[in-house]
């Protein structure tokens, strides 16, 4: 269902193609390389890469890991994993971007995963772009003229909302004209995408996710972020390709991350949202909303720490059949370490911090995937950290797995 959150193959491909690329900050602040350069993918290869903040707002990965201060290009090894996995830069020639979002999807249905990127590219402040790369096999990615508008500080998600067998796009973010957008683009099957004028409110610093929350067989939309009229968190029901706000009554979320997941295994998709209530990013919260059917979503009081400028993801890390949570971002509470990365075990709808010992990050992106094929979920984590007594400040990318 969540085609932008593909399992297995998607995740492995991600590592092969862009892991170093996203080392510098994930969805909100990733840098694929120095501005104006096409490299990114030749970043020093370490399992955990710590790079300096160059002061430009672009976090350039580049230093060595705390554990292994080795430098230079070469294979990337997931040093946190008990079964090391090695990743190589495939030299795909992707642009260096900032304020970015990425998602895999097989838009041309030829059996391999293609790549959609958005963000700022070029010198200085950069220019918003959207880049669609077709996977032509043999580690070759070919840029396609998709006609999508350039955006930054946004989100991208693939999903077949019209059930015609090809992947369509949900795109959010800020355009070069300073307009916030949230648009659905229909895949016409010929490699071009048409805006269906879905009437969604434009957002930035937010999240757009596909999920069939009413179990009627089509993908609905969860949209969070900043609109021109303030923060929102809304569910839009897909009615034969027309999207209508169901009035779920969720509190708006700035600088937010959101995900669908059936945490209680009752067959319907529930909601996880982390974000801020007060501009620009004050009073952070993290809530789980249980889907009660008939369009009702109820806060279960999960007692998760509120985070902003972070990332959330569901995944059954302990293999007991229920969805657990990984949470990153800023608590804004110095005594809690300010930035956190925590894994919560789901015990019948009660979520318990497992004290995973992960470095706290913000402006981050995180993803579960079984990178070593041992049947257990590993964690891909990127972001920016600060105030760490041992490491100071910098960026992180790494893989951790049991
Ligand atoms: Ca479609
Ligand atoms: Ca639906
Ligand atoms: Ca459920
Ligand atoms: Ca579990």
d(CA 163, CA 302): 34
C-alpha 94: how far from chain center: 18
Residues with CB under 5 A from ligand 4 (ion): 316, 318, 320, 322, 324, 346
Q: Are 256 and 223 a contacting pair, CB within 8 Å?
A: no
pLDDT at site 389: 64
Q: Are 119 and 99 a contacting pair, CB within 8 Å?
A: yes
In the reported structure, the alpha carbon of residue 245 is separated from the centroid of ligand 4 by a whole-number distance in angstroms of 31
In the reported structure, the alpha carbon of residue 319 is separated from the centroid of ligand 4 by a whole-number distance in angstroms of 5
pLDDT at site 394: 79
pTM of the predicted protein model = 0.82
pLDDT at site 97: 83
Buried b (16+ CB within 10 A) or exposed e, 240-263: eeebeebebebebbbbbbbbbbbb
pLDDT at site 343: 96
In the reported structure, the alpha carbon of residue 251 is separated from the centroid of ligand 1 by a whole-number distance in angstroms of 30
Residues of the chain short of pLDDT 50, as ranges, are 1-74, 78-79, 81-82
Instruction: Let me know the angle formed at the C-alpha of 286 by 229 and 324, rounded to the nearest 5 degrees.
Output: 135
In the reported structure, the alpha carbon of residue 295 is separated from the centroid of ligand 1 by a whole-number distance in angstroms of 24
Closest CA relative to residue 315, chosen from 303, 304, 307, 323: 323
In the reported structure, the alpha carbon of residue 261 is separated from the centroid of ligand 2 by a whole-number distance in angstroms of 14
In the reported structure, the alpha carbon of residue 266 is separated from the centroid of ligand 3 by a whole-number distance in angstroms of 5
In the reported structure, the alpha carbon of residue 199 is separated from the centroid of ligand 1 by a whole-number distance in angstroms of 18
Ligand sitting nearest the alpha carbon of 264: 3
Ligand sitting nearest the alpha carbon of 291: 3
In the reported structure, the alpha carbon of residue 129 is separated from the centroid of ligand 1 by a whole-number distance in angstroms of 23
159-215 pLDDT, tens digit each: 999 999 999 999 999 999 999 999 999 999 887 899 999 999 999 999 999 999 999
Q: Give 63: exposed, middle or buried? Use CB within 10 Å, 0-12, 13-18, 19+.
A: middle
Which token pair is 95?
A: 């642009």
d(CA 20, CA 8): 19
């Amino acid at each position: 269902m969540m085609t932008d959150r593909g399992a297995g193959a998607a995740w492995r491909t991600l590592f092969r193609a862009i892991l170093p690329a996203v080392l510098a900050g994930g969805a909100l602040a990733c840098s694929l390389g120095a501005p104006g350069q096409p490299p990114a993918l030749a970043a020093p290869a370490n399992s955990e890469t710590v790079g300096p903040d160059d002061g430009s707002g672009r976090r350039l990965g580049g230093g060595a890991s705390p554990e292994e201060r080795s430098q230079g290009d070469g294979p990337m090894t997931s040093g946190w994993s008990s079964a090391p996995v090695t990743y190589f830069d495939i030299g795909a020639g992707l642009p260096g971007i900032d304020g970015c979002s990425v998602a895999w999807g097989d838009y041309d249905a030829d059996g391999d995963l293609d790549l959609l990127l958005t963000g700022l590219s070029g010198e200085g402040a950069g220019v918003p772009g959207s880049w669609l790369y077709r996977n032509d096999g043999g580690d070759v990615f070919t840029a396609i003229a998709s006609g999508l508008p350039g955006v930054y500080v946004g989100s991208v998600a693939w999903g077949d909302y019209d059930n015609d067998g090809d992947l369509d796009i949900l795109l959010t973010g800020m355009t070069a004209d300073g307009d916030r957008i949230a648009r659905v683009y229909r895949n016409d099957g010929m490699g071009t995408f048409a805006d269906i004028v879905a009437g969604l409110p434009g957002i930035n610093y937010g999240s757009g996710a596909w999920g069939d929350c009413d179990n009627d067989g089509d993908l609905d939309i969860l949209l969070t972020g900043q609109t021109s009229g303030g923060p929102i968190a809304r569910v839009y029901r897909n009615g034969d390709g027309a999207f209508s706000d169901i009035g779920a009554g969720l509190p708006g979320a700035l600088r937010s991350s959101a995900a669908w997941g059936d945490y209680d295994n009752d067959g319907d998709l529930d909601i996880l949202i982390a974000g801020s209530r007060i501009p620009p990013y004050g009073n952070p919260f993290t809530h789980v909303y249980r889907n009660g059917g008939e369009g009702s979503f109820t806060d279960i009081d999960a007692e998760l720490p509120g985070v902003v400028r972070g990332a959330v993801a569901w995944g059954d890390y302990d293999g007991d059949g229920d969805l657990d949570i990984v949470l990153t971002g800023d608590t804004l509470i110095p005594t809690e370490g300010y930035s956190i990365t925590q894994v919560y075990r789901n015990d019948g709808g009660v979520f318990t911090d497992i004290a995973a010992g992960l470095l706290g990050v913000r402006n981050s992106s995180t993803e579960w995937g079984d990178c070593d094929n041992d049947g257990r979920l590993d964690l891909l984590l990127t972001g920016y950290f600060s105030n760490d007594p041992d490491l100071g400040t910098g960026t992180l990318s790494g893989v951790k797995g049991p």
